[in-house]
Structures are given as C-alpha cells and as structure tokens.
C-alpha cells in the first residue's frame, strides 16, 4: 500500500536549520528559527512556569481524562487574558472558549466549525502570512483567497490595496487577521486599520478570524489585544485563536484556545457543542499539562505578576535588539533605510536584502536567514550583534 506514497519536498526552514547545526564555524548565527531566545541564545523555561510545575506536582492527584473542552479554569483565565476581565463580552453568555492543542490546533478547530456552519465560506489571508496558515486551514476544507498586506518596497502595510480588497469580500466569508506581532513581517495593524476593518466587516457581513499567537510580545498584554477587544465589542460574530507557545514559552506543551463570539448565548452553546464534536473526531481531548500551568499562573496574584514581569523582559529585549540592529546597520547602510526594523513589533521582520547578499551572509559569515529575508530578532544578542551588523554592512557595501 505505502509504495504509492510520494516523497514530500523538505521544508526549506528545516533544511536551513540542519545546515546551521552542521556548520562548525564558531561565530555562526541562526536567525531562521521561530522561537524566542534570551541574550545567551537559549530558549529557557520561564521561572513562573517552573514554579507552577512545582505546585502542580503536589496538586495533581489524577491523570484521568479531562473534558473535550479542556480545563475549565484555563478557559476562563484565557478569556480574561484576551478580553480583559471587565470587558462586556465576558459574562455575556455569547462566548464559547475551548482549550485546544496550541495555536495551530485552535486555528484548525475554528476553521472546521466555520465550515460546518457554512461549507461554501472562503478564507481570506493577507500576503504574506505565516506559511503554515494556508496548509493548516486549506486542508480543513477552506478555499483560500488572498488580500494584499505588506509592501516590500516601503516595508509598510499597503493600506489602500488592503482596504480595497477587504471592501470586496462577500458576506459570510472569513478574513484572517494577525492579532499582533505579524509573522513574518512585524508590520502590525494600527488602531485605525482595526477600526476600519471592523466597520468593513459590519458593512459587508464578513467574519474576522483573529490569530493571536504573540500577545504580550509587541506593545504589551493589553495593547496587543486592542483589535480582539474592539472587535468583540463591535461585531456580532468573531473567532479568535490564541497560543501560549510564545508568551508562556510552552511550545511543546501544545497549549492554545479557540474562542467564538456568537450573536446570542443559544448560538454560543450550539457552537460549543459543534466544536467539541470536532475535537472528539480529531484528537479527542487537548493535552492537559500546559493548560494546568497557565491556569495556575493566571489564577495566582504573585505568579501572575512574576510571569508578567518575565514576559515584559522578553518584550523589552526584542525591542532593544530591534533598535540596536537598525542603528548599527544604518550607521553605514549603503543608502538603504532599515528603520522599519526599529518600528515593527514581535519576533520577526524582513531584512529586505538581495538573495545573493543573503547567500553571502550564509557562505562567508555563517549567518543563516530564510530566503524571504525574514529574521528572528530574538536570535540577536549582545554577543553576536556586532559581528552580525558588521557582516551585513560588508555585504551591503559590496552591492
């Protein structure tokens, strides 16, 4: 049977990571990988997570199955993290939140619920978007349409083209938006963009589907949720997939949640039962460990404050690396302006250099960057910044 299977082309990012591991040069730098790294280049377990794990060792008395919707405390805490505890939507009965395996599992459950409700709905994604959005959501059954998002020549959102495209989206279609820290561009929607898109959603009747995988890594926990909170107030229907992979550093624990806002509480209950039947058909129940940790952290004043302080440190480190990189390249940048890096948010930005310059960075200087020129800002640290900016200046000066 299996002889009929065709090999799948290797993921270019995995290929780049393998080449990086095999590289013996001492000064090598990996800016391709998509996880946070601290100033010593490690991806550590957060101290608040370690403390919650110690507590859990004592508190956990069973490994019996938990419900299909996951841990109830976790779901409640995620709602207040996303919306803020005083938001009118919390307690309105119009919310349905389920724990799901990571941001990816959450996106998938969201997509499948939409397609049960409206099999002909199309999904509109910005260009570019996180490369996994299309296979993940397309294979759920969505046909994918695209809208312009980022202008490579100006390093800004192409507002006019984006709004033009979104003002053509038919009623009942779904528009995917990045809540904050856009991956791969780092160019986030402004408040004005969010407000304008909310108005278009109301006028046209499309439904925003917000993927928020980096809450707290951009401008802070509350500021990063502006779009989610404003749309939850203004729109009758909304879908939000969130991930604790980055802001709690729980990558491998597969911790996320999917939230639906319905017009009525009866509809929210219907959605919840449909989402649970979908989860049951795919993975039955989400993994417990990460969600129990998040519920413990967010439910305890001291642990929550510790976690917020650690997250703030992460956010500020990324911001300072953005400034340092911009300033050190721009000191001598062959006439190219890199100020977008300083202005953008989250872990990623496009460097925007030529492919032969990228190749030279890898071959001559052991600096690994994916072909789109997306760099992981968190891969930069006080030990490698000088070598990195010097190498970039060298390849830029050579033209």
Nearer to ligand PLP, 68 or 256 (CB): 256
Residues ≥6 apart with Cβ < 8 Å to 213: 103, 178, 179, 181, 183, 241, 242, 243, 245, 246
224 touches ligand PLP by CB under 6 A: no
For residue 60, what are its two tokens? 């956990």
Beta bridge partners of 371: none
Size of residue set near ligand PLP by CB under 6 A: 13
Three-class SS state of 77: helix
The radius of gyration of the chain from alpha carbons, rounded to an integer in Å, stands at 21
| Residue 71 Cβ vs ligand PLP, minimum distance, rounded to whole Å | 17
x-or-dash string of contact with ligand PLP, 231-250, rule CB under 6 A: ------------x-x-----
Nearer to ligand PLP, 213 or 296 (CB): 213
Tell me which stretch binds ligand PLP (CB under 6 A): 101-109, 306-314, 325-333, 351-359: 101-109
Nearer to ligand PLP, 183 or 267 (CB): 183
Q: Rounded distance, CA 106 to CA 358, Å?
A: 35
**Residue 222: active-site member:** no
Nearer to ligand PLP, 251 or 387 (CB): 251
Active-site position among 188, 224, 246, 307: 246
* Strand-strand pairing, 207-212 and 174-178: parallel
| Residue 62 Cβ vs ligand PLP, minimum distance, rounded to whole Å | 26
253 touches ligand PLP by CB under 6 A: no
* Subset of 196-215 contacting ligand PLP (CB under 6 A): 211, 213
**Residue 246: active-site member:** yes
| Residue 197 Cβ vs ligand PLP, minimum distance, rounded to whole Å | 17
130 touches ligand PLP by CB under 6 A: yes
State which of residues 32, 70, 102, 290 lies at the interface with ligand PLP (CB under 6 A).
Answer: 102
**Residue 130: active-site member:** yes
Nearer to ligand PLP, 95 or 110 (CB): 110
Distances (CA, A) of 120 to 141, 143, 171, 209: 9, 8, 11, 16
* Subset of 34-73 contacting ligand PLP (CB under 6 A): 34
| Residue 34 Cβ vs ligand PLP, minimum distance, rounded to whole Å | 5
Beta bridge partners of 127: 148
* Subset of 168-187 contacting ligand PLP (CB under 6 A): 178, 183
75 within 8 A of 98, measured Cβ to Cβ: yes
| Residue 356 Cβ vs ligand PLP, minimum distance, rounded to whole Å | 28
104 touches ligand PLP by CB under 6 A: yes
C-beta contacts of 311-314 below 8 A and 24+ residues apart: 311/46, 311/216, 311/217, 311/221, 311/247, 312/216, 312/220, 314/36, 314/38, 314/216, 314/217, 314/378
Please, what is the Cα angle at 256 between 252 and 261, to 5 degrees? 170
Nearer to ligand PLP, 178 or 340 (CB): 178
Beta bridge partners of 150: 157
Give the number of other CB atoms < 10 A from CB of residue 42.
Answer: 10
3-state secondary structure 284-295: CCCCCHHHHHHH
Where do the H-state alpha helices sit in 345-384?
355-365
Active-site position among 188, 211, 224, 306: 211
Q: Which residues are catalytic?
A: 130, 211, 246
Task: Tell me which residues touch ligand PLP (CB under 6 A).
Answer: 34, 102-104, 130, 178, 183, 211, 213, 243, 245, 251, 256
């Amino acid at each position: 049977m299996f002889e009929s299977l065709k090999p799948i082309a290797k993921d270019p990012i995995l290929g780049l990571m393998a080449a990086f591991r095999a590289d013996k040069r001492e000064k090598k730098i990996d800016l391709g990988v998509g996880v946070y790294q601290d100033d010593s280049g490690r991806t550590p377990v957060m101290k608040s997570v370690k403390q919650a794990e110690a507590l859990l060792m004592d508190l956990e008395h069973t490994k019996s199955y938990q419900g299909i919707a996951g841990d109830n405390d976790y779901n409640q805490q995620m709602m207040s993290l996303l919306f803020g505890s005083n938001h009118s939507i919390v307690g309105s009965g119009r919310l349905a939140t389920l724990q799901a395996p990571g941001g990816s599992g959450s996106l998938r459950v969201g997509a499948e619920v939409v397609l049960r409700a409206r099999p002909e709905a199309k999904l509109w994604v910005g260009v570019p978007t996180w490369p996994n959005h299309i296979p993940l959501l397309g294979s759920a059954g969505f046909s994918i349409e695209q809208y312009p998002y980022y202008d490579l020549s100006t390093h800004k959102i192409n507002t006019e083209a984006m709004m033009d495209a979104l003002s053509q989206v038919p009623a009942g279609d779904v528009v995917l938006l990045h809540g904050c820290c856009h991956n791969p561009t780092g160019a986030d929607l402004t408040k004005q963009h969010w407000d304008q898109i909310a108005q278009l959603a109301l006028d046209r009747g499309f439904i925003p589907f917000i993927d928020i995988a980096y809450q707290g890594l951009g401008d802070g926990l509350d500021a990063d949720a502006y779009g989610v909170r404003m749309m939850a107030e203004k729109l009758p229907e909304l879908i939000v997939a969130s991930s604790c992979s980055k802001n709690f550093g729980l990558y491998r624990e597969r911790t996320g949640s999917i939230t639906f806002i319905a017009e009525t509480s009866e509809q929210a209950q219907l959605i919840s039962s449909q989402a649970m039947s979908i989860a049951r058909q795919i993975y039955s129940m989400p993994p417990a460990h990460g969600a129990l940790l998040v519920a413990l952290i967010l439910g305890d004043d001291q642990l929550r404050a510790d976690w917020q302080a650690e997250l703030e440190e992460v956010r500020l480190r990324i911001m300072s690396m953005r400034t340092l990189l911009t300033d050190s390249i721009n000191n001598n940048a062959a006439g190219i302006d890199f100020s977008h890096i300083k202005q953008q948010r989250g872990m990623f930005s496009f460097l925007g250099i030529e492919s032969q310059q990228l190749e030279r960075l890898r071959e001559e200087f052991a600096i690994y960057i994916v072909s789109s020129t997306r760099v992981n800002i968190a891969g930069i640290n006080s030990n490698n910044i000088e070598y990195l900016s010097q190498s970039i200046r060298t390849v830029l000066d050579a033209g």
